[in-house]
Structure 1
Amino acid sequence: MRTKHLILALFSLFLLNACQQRQKGVYNVMDYGAAGDGKADDATAIQQAVDACSAAGGGTVLLPSGHTFLCGPLKLASDVNFHLEPNSRLLANPDESVYNESAFGDNRGEGMMWISGKDLKNLSITGTGTIDGNGVAFMGKELEDSYELKPVTDFDPRPHVLTLINAEKTVIRDVTICNSAYWTIHLVGCYDALIEGISLLNNLKIRNGDGIDLDHSRKVRIADCFIESGDDCICLKNRREFEEYGSCEDNVVSNCVMTSRSCAIKIGSENMDVINNVLFNNCIIRGSNRGVGIQNRDEGTVTNVVFSNMLIDCQFFSDVWWGKAEPIYVTSYPRAVGNHKDAGWRFPKGATEGRCGEVSRIYFTNIKCTSENGVFVGGDVPGKVNHIYFKDVDVLLYKRTGYPGGIYDKRPCLGEGFVHDSTYGFYIDTASDIYIEDSRIMWGDTKPDKAADGVMQKNAHNVVIE
C-alpha cells in the first residue's frame, strides 16, 4: 500500500515539474499588474513583462484570453515572442497626448509610434488575438468615402501600429491587426522577416492607413495574408528619413487577398535608393481604386520586378484617393514642390526640386483585370520608363460607378496631375520598349466614358504588340 502511495506521490511530483517546465519562460502580463479591463492603461505592466523576458534571455510575453489591454506606447525587445491568445485584444489608448515619439525621426509631420522596436533580433508577434489601433478615435468627421483629417502643422499625433527599425529575423504570424490611424506595419531597414497568415483589417475610410510598408528592407516574405486598407495594402519604398539603411531588395509577396481605396500593391512613391528583385505572385485584388502601381517620384530606381498569376478588380473613387481605377500602373515623374507638412523631407538636402529615376525590366504575366479604366504606362522623358513586358494580360472594361471616366492619375507630380483622354485598354505615354503579347482587351455591356479601342501610343518608342 505504501509503495502505491509513493508511486502516486512521485507521479504527482513529475506532473508538477512538467507543468512548471512548460510555464518556464512565459511572462503573463497580468502577473506584472495588467488589469486587462479595457479601461486602465496597461502599458507599464506590459513593458515590464517585455523587459523581464528579454533580460532573462528570451521567452514568451503572454496576453491571456478574454481580456482587452488598453495600452499607450510600447517598446518590444530581442528574443521575445509577443503572443496574443485567442479572444485577447491590445487596444491603442485614444489619448493623443501619450504619443510623442515620431515614426520618422526628426520628421514629426507623419505620425507617432505606438508599438515599436529598434536594433532587435529574434522578435516574433504571434497568436490569434487582436491588435487594435483604435483608428476612428483619431479622426475628424466622417465624409462620404473617407474621414476628415484633423488639422496639424509639423506634428501629427496619429499613432502607427507597429514600427520596427533595423530588426533581424522577425516573424509576425496569425494575428489580426486592425483599425490603424496611420500606417499599420512599417519595417525599416529590416532583414529576414516573415509576415504570414495575418488578417490586417483597417477602416477603408481612413487616409494614410497603409497595410504593410517595407522601407529599405531586404529578404522579407509576405504570404497568405488578408489585407483591407484605406491606403496601400502592401508598399515597397525607400524613405529619405532612413537613407542610412540602403536598398529595398529581394522581397516576395504571395497568396494574398487585398482591398484598398488607394493602390493595393504599390512601389513608391518615396524612393531615394534602389528597389530591385521583387516577386508578387498568386494574389487577388478586389474593389480597389488602383490594382498594381509603380509610382516612382524620387531619384531612386525600380528594376527586376515580376507580377504573376493575379486577379485585379478596380473601380473609381473620389479624388481624395490617388488613382483612377488603373488596374496596372507603371510611372516615373518628378514630384511636385509643395507646402505639405513634410515637404522639407521629400527632396535631397539643399535641393529645391526633385528628379525621378529609371523604371525598367518590369514583368506582368497571366493577369486578369476588370476595371473602369485601362493600364497606364508613362514617364517624364523618353526612355525613363523602359522594358515593360505584358504577357497574357487581359483587360475587361465596363462602367460601374457614377464618377466620370476618360482620366488617368499622375499624382504626385509637377504640373497637371491628371491626363484627360479616351479610355483605352493600354495607354503608353512617353515610354520605350514596351512589349504586349497574347493579351486581350474586352468591353462589358456598359462601356466606360469616352471608350476607345486598343492601345494608345503617345511619344512612345518601340511598342511591340503581338
Structure 2
Amino acid sequence: MFRCEWISASEEVSSVVAGEYGEFVVTDFGAVGNGVTDDARAIQQAIDACSAAGGGIVVFPAGKTFLAGPLHMRSNVNLHLRPNSVLLANPNESIYNESAFGANEGEGMMWLSGKDIRNFTISGTGRIDGNAVAFMGAELDDSYELKPVTTFDPRPHVLTLINARNVRISDVTIANSAYWTVHLVGCYDVAISNISLLNNLKVRNGDGIDIDHSRKVRISNCFIESGDDCICLKNRREFEEYGPCEDVVVTNCIMTSRSCAVKIGSENMDRIARVLFDNCIVTESNRGIGIQNRDEGTVEDVTFSNMIVDCKLFSDVWWGKSEPIYVTSYPRARGNHKDAGWRFPKGATKGACGEVRNIRFINIASTSENGIFIGCDTPGKVSDILLSNVDLTLKKQTAFKGGVYDRRPCEGEGFVKSDVFGIFAENASGVTVRDFQVSANDFPGYAAPTNFVNCTDIRVSPADHVW
C-alpha cells in the first residue's frame, strides 16, 4: 500500500533552513526514503525552499529510495543524488494527470517537470527510476504490450523541461522510463554529460533524450539504452511557439535501440539545422542513423562523422529494417491513432513533408542486415547528400527475413520490398558517394553496391569496391 501526500502551490515553503553549503536535505523536510511512503510533499518543499532562498542544492541522501509522485522543478536548484540513492516514480497511475504535451493528453503525463525555469541542474551518482514495467501490459518476445488507452495515456515521462535556460545534467543514472525519458522543449543552453540512461529495451515509446524546438544543446560521454530512439531531434506541433531546433552537438556517446539510435524526426513542423554527431558508437540497434521527415518542416546542414554503427533486424513492432543510414522525406500517414488530430496542421486532414538537404556522412563503419536507404515522395525533395569513406559489412544475424526497407509512418506502402543493395535510393538528387565499400560475403538477396531509382545528379567516385 502506497501513501500519497500532496502539497499545493499556495502552501508555505517549509521553515527548515539550508544546511552547510546551501544544502536542502530532503529528509530534513520529512522525506522517509523507505521506498514505500510517497515522499513527494517533502521533496517538493525542499525544492521550493531551495529556490526561494536564491538557490542551492537539494540533496537525496545515500542509500535510500525515495518513492514520489509528480514533482515540479524550480529555478536555481541543483537536484543532487548521492551514491546509491534512488528517486523512484510512484506506480499509481491515477496521480499522473498533467499532460506532457499540453492539450494533447494522448501521449503520456509528466513526472518530473519544470517550465520557464533558469539555472537548473541534476547531478550526483544516484539513480532516477521511472518504474517502467509497473505501467506496462503483458510481456511479449521483444516488447511489452501497451495498456489500452483512448485520448488519455497515464504513462509518465521522467523529465520534461519547457522553456528552460542554462540546464546541466551530469553523472546520474536515469532509468526505466515508461515513456520518453528526458524531453527538452524550447530549451536554450543545455549540457548533458556522463550520464547512463538505461531504459528497458522492451518498452515502446521509451525514448532516451528528445530535443524538441531547442537550441544550443550539447550531449557528451553518455551511455544510452532505450527501446525507442536514443537521441531524437524534433519539432512537435504542440509546441510550435518555441521555433526551430538548431545548434546541437552530440559527441562520444554509445547507444543501443530497438528502433532508431540516432533520429531526426519524425515530428518536424519547423526547421532542424546545424547539427553534429561525432565519435559515437551504435550497437545492436534496429536502425542506426535516421532522418525521418514526415511533416512540413525542413532538415538541413547535418553532419554525422567518425561513427561505428551495428544494426540487426527486430519485429515489425519497431520502426526500421536494420538500415544503418536512413535519409527520407515522405508525407505522414493519416489514421485514427489516439493523437492523430495533432499530427497535421489545424483543420488539415492530410500532411506534407519538407525538404531534407545538405546531409553529410563521413567516416562511418557499419555492420548490418540491410543497406543504406535514401528516399522521398517527390524527386529532389531529398538533396545534396554526401557519403564519404563509408564502409558497410552485410552480415546475417537473425532469422528475420530481409530484403525490406521501412518507410513508416507514411502515406501509401510502408514497406519497400527489394533486393539488398549497399545503397538504395529513390527520387533523390545530388547524391555524392566517395570511397564507399561493401563487403557482402554471400549475403542472402544481395544484388549490387548501389541502386539509384529515378535519381538525378549522382556522383560516385572512385568506382565502388565490392569483395
Q: TM-score range by the shorter chain?
A: over 0.9
Give the aligned partner of residue 411 of structure 1.
Answer: 408
Distance in structure 1 (CA, Å) of the matches to 2:410 and 2:378: 13
Choose from 200, 217, 229 the match for 1:232: 229
Per-residue Cα deviation, 1:15-55 (whole angstroms, up to 9, x for no partner): xxxxx997141000000000000000000000000000000
Choose from 448, 452, 456 the match for 1:461: 456
**1:290 Cα deviation (Å)?**
0.1
Distance in structure 1 (CA, Å) of the matches to 2:284 and 2:170: 26
Choose from 35, 39, 58 the match for 1:38: 35
Distance in structure 1 (CA, Å) of the matches to 2:432 and 2:66: 54
Q: Do residues 183 (structure 1) and 183 (structure 2) align?
A: no
Distance in structure 2 (CA, Å) of the matches to 1:393 and 1:125: 38
Per-residue Cα deviation, 1:134-158 (whole angstroms, up to 9, x for no partner): 0000000000000000000000000
TM alignment of 1:113-262, pairs within 5 A: 113-262=110-259
Q: Do residues 61 (structure 1) and 58 (structure 2) align?
A: yes
More helix by share: 1
Alignment TM-score, normalising by the size of structure 2: 0.95
Give the aligned partner of residue 5 of structure 2.
Answer: none
Give the aligned partner of residue 4 of structure 2.
Answer: none
Equivalenced residue count is 445
Per-residue Cα deviation, 1:313-342 (whole angstroms, up to 9, x for no partner): 000000000000000000000001100000
SS of aligned partner of 1:243? helix
> 2:69 corresponds to which letter in structure 1?
G
Give the aligned partner of residue 381 of structure 1.
Answer: 378
**1:369 Cα deviation (Å)?**
0.7
TM alignment of 1:363-378, pairs within 5 A: 363-378=360-375
Give the aligned partner of residue 87 of structure 1.
Answer: 84
Choose from 425, 439, 450 the match for 2:445: 450
Per-residue Cα deviation, 1:98-137 (whole angstroms, up to 9, x for no partner): 1000000000000000000000000000000000000000
> 2:74 corresponds to which letter in structure 1?
A
SS of aligned partner of 2:332? coil
Distance in structure 2 (CA, Å) of the matches to 1:226 and 1:337: 35
Give the aligned partner of residue 424 of structure 1.
Answer: 421
SS of aligned partner of 1:222? strand
SS of aligned partner of 1:114? strand
Distance in structure 2 (CA, Å) of the matches to 1:26 and 1:401: 52
SS of aligned partner of 2:41? helix
Distance in structure 2 (CA, Å) of the matches to 1:147 and 1:58: 41
> 1:464 corresponds to which letter in structure 2?
R
> 1:94 corresponds to which letter in structure 2?
P
> 1:30 corresponds to which letter in structure 2?
T
Alignment TM-score, normalising by the size of structure 1: 0.95
Choose from 267, 274, 278 the match for 1:270: 267
SS of aligned partner of 1:452? strand
SS of aligned partner of 1:78? coil
Distance in structure 1 (CA, Å) of the matches to 2:172 and 2:89: 16
SS of aligned partner of 1:46? helix
**1:438 Cα deviation (Å)?**
1.0
Distance in structure 1 (CA, Å) of the matches to 2:149 and 2:347: 25
Q: Do residues 400 (structure 1) and 389 (structure 2) align?
A: no
Kept in 1: contact 2:18–2:24 (CA 8 A): no
| Segments of 4+ moved more than 4 angstroms | none
Distance in structure 2 (CA, Å) of the matches to 1:39 and 1:395: 51
Assess, with a 3 A threshold, how the Cα gap between structure 1 residues 22 and 35 changes in structure 2: closer, same or farther.
closer
**1:443 Cα deviation (Å)?**
1.4
SS of aligned partner of 1:433? strand
Distance in structure 2 (CA, Å) of the matches to 1:417 and 1:400: 23
Distance in structure 2 (CA, Å) of the matches to 1:136 and 1:460: 46
**1:403 Cα deviation (Å)?**
0.4
**1:453 Cα deviation (Å)?**
1.3
Give the aligned partner of residue 14 of structure 1.
Answer: none
> 1:27 corresponds to which letter in structure 2?
F
Distance in structure 2 (CA, Å) of the matches to 1:70 and 1:43: 7
Distance in structure 1 (CA, Å) of the matches to 2:114 and 2:451: 48
Distance in structure 1 (CA, Å) of the matches to 2:439 and 2:447: 11
Distance in structure 1 (CA, Å) of the matches to 2:21 and 2:375: 58
Q: Which runs of 5+ in 2 are unaligned?
A: 1-16, 462-467
Distance in structure 1 (CA, Å) of the matches to 2:109 and 2:164: 19
SS of aligned partner of 1:44? helix
Q: Which runs of 5+ in 1 are unaligned?
A: 1-19
> 1:319 corresponds to which letter in structure 2?
D
> 2:327 corresponds to which letter in structure 1?
V
Distance in structure 2 (CA, Å) of the matches to 1:441 and 1:459: 22
Give the aligned partner of residue 47 of structure 1.
Answer: 44
> 2:312 corresponds to which letter in structure 1?
Q
Task: Give the root-mean-square deviation of aligned CA atoms.
Answer: 1.0
Choose from 278, 283, 286 the match for 1:286: 283
SS of aligned partner of 1:124? strand
**1:160 Cα deviation (Å)?**
0.1
Distance in structure 2 (CA, Å) of the matches to 1:189 and 1:160: 17
> 2:396 corresponds to which letter in structure 1?
K
SS of aligned partner of 1:236? strand
> 2:56 corresponds to which letter in structure 1?
G
